[in-house]
């Protein structure tokens, strides 16, 4: 990894989830399924969903407030907002701009969204690292928030069982003590297999030209292929990232993986030889919350005392694109 000119400090993290819980048993009202089928294949028992007009911007704002509060950095001192989302309530104005407005940031800082699906937080962290390392910006707010429940086809039992809504946020800044909290970071993608998970926007060509094939706007996924891709690629990628950093899995305290499927998490855990105590798992309560999944797992596990601060962790994820990525991070005391 390129040595950063200005090191990065993770100053604060936070999360937010909607209050409404939909259990596996609730889903039996929508289609033929069972708690047993869903739980044994995925590890999911329930998920949170937005209700009424609440959306990913509200969730992102709540998570951002918490992360800012912990960081000790005032909203008006934020220099840039990067929002990561694959299920935003609208394409524009972006979540970044709307969170800027909700936080009352009146300085005209850059605010924008990126889409790297469930790897979004890692991609956002990588972009922030570049801006901080170059000295261009100092304080950056990352908001990872997803509104999957609005984009799902709730008649499709093979996909709608998997996802939930949530937000996570992270405030990063130029490190003032020379210590870099990003020990390693790597992001990757393989666009040649992008059709494994898709969310097309519906639309029509100009009536003066040949029409395009009409497509419905809903998430489609080849679950089996995604499973095989993740189980094959991610454990290998994570162990190589650790090795490239000149470390051994035993040098890092925790694994905070994307919460997509318990069996994929277990495959990464086995590869690294981690104990259950070292692996953060909350998929049972939230399902797959896409971009929010990693920061939600991280912040919630600190709040519940499972993950102790003053430690190090591997964050890793994969998702539509197909994207994947990971980071080995230092988790300072007081960030959550």
Are the C-beta atoms of 147 and 50 separated by less than 8 Å? yes
Least distance (Å) from ligand UT7 to the CB of residue 86? 9
Least distance (Å) from ligand UT7 to the CB of residue 223? 3
Active site residue 97: no
Least distance (Å) from ligand UT7 to the CB of residue 305? 27
Q: 56-71 and 95-102 are packed helices; what angle lies between their axes, rounded to 10 degrees?
A: 60
Task: Report strand pairing: 21-23 vs 46-48.
Answer: antiparallel
State which residue, 100 or 115, has the beta carbon closest to ligand UT7: 115
Active site residue 118: yes
Rounded Cα–Cα distance for residues 3 and 210 (Å): 51
- The helix (H) or strand (E) run that includes residue 66 is helix 56-71
Least distance (Å) from ligand UT7 to the CB of residue 270? 17
Are the C-beta atoms of 307 and 319 separated by less than 8 Å? no
Active site residue 336: no
State which residue, 171 or 221, has the beta carbon closest to ligand UT7: 221
Strand partners, 21: 48
Find the catalytic residue in 24, 258, 282, 336.
Answer: 258
Find the catalytic residue in 118, 139, 316, 336.
Answer: 118
Rounded Cα–Cα distance for residues 244 and 229 (Å): 22
Look at the chain and count its residues.
336
Token pair recorded at residue 327:
């980071």
Rounded Cα–Cα distance for residues 148 and 55 (Å): 10
Please report where in the chains the tokens 């959550």 appear, as a residue: 336
State which residue, 38 or 81, has the beta carbon closest to ligand UT7: 38
Rounded Cα–Cα distance for residues 255 and 328 (Å): 9
Q: In the complex, which residue's CB is closest to ligand UT7?
A: 223
State which residue, 42 or 147, has the beta carbon closest to ligand UT7: 42
State which residue, 20 or 222, has the beta carbon closest to ligand UT7: 222
Token pair recorded at residue 58:
């509200």
Least distance (Å) from ligand UT7 to the CB of residue 35? 10
Find the catalytic residue in 261, 282, 288, 316.
Answer: 288
State the residues that interact with ligand UT7 by CB under 6 A. 33, 37-38, 41-42, 118, 157-158, 161, 221, 223-224, 226-227, 230, 260-261, 288, 319
Which positions ≥6 away from 319 have C-beta within 8 Å? 86, 116, 117, 118, 119, 120, 197, 258, 260, 290
List residues with catalytic annotation: 118, 258, 288
């Amino acid at each position: 990894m390129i040595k950063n000119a200005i090191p990065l400090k993770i100053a604060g993290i936070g999360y937010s989830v909607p209050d409404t819980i939909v259990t596996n048993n609730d889903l039996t009202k929508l289609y033929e399924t069972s708690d047993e089928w869903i739980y044994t294949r995925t590890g999911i028992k329930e998920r949170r969903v937005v209700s009424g007009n609440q959306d990913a911007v509200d969730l992102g704002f709540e998570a951002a407030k918490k992360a800012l509060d912990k960081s000790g950095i005032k909203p008006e001192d934020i220099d840039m907002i990067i929002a990561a989302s694959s299920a935003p309530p609208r394409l524009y104005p972006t979540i970044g701009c709307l969170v800027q407005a909700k936080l009352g940031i009146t300085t005209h800082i850059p605010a924008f969204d990126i889409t790297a699906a469930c790897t979004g937080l890692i991609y956002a962290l990588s972009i922030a690292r570049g801006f901080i390392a170059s000295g261009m910006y100092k304080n950056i707010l990352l908001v990872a928030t997803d509104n999957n429940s609005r984009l799902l086809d709730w008649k499709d039992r093979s996909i709608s069982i998997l996802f939930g809504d949530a937000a996570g946020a992270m405030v990063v800044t130029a490190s003032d003590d020379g210590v870099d909290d990003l020990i390693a970071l790597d992001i990757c993608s393989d666009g040649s297999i992008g059709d494994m998970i898709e969310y097309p926007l519906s639309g029509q060509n100009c009536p003066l030209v040949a029409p395009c094939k009409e497509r419905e706007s809903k998430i489609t996924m080849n679950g089996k292929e995604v499973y095989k891709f993740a189980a094959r690629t991610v454990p290998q990628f994570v162990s190589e990232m650790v090795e490239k950093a000149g470390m051994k899995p035993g040098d890092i305290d925790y694994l905070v993986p994307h919460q997509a499927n318990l069996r994929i998490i277990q495959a990464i855990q086995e590869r690294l030889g981690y104990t259950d105590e070292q692996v953060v798992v909350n998929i049972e309560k939230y399902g797959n919350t896409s971009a929010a999944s990693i920061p939600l797992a991280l912040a919630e596990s600190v709040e519940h005392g499972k993950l102790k601060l003053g430690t190090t962790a591997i964050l890793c994820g994969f998702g539509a694109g197909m994207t994947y990525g990971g980071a080995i991070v230092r988790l300072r005391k007081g960030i959550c």
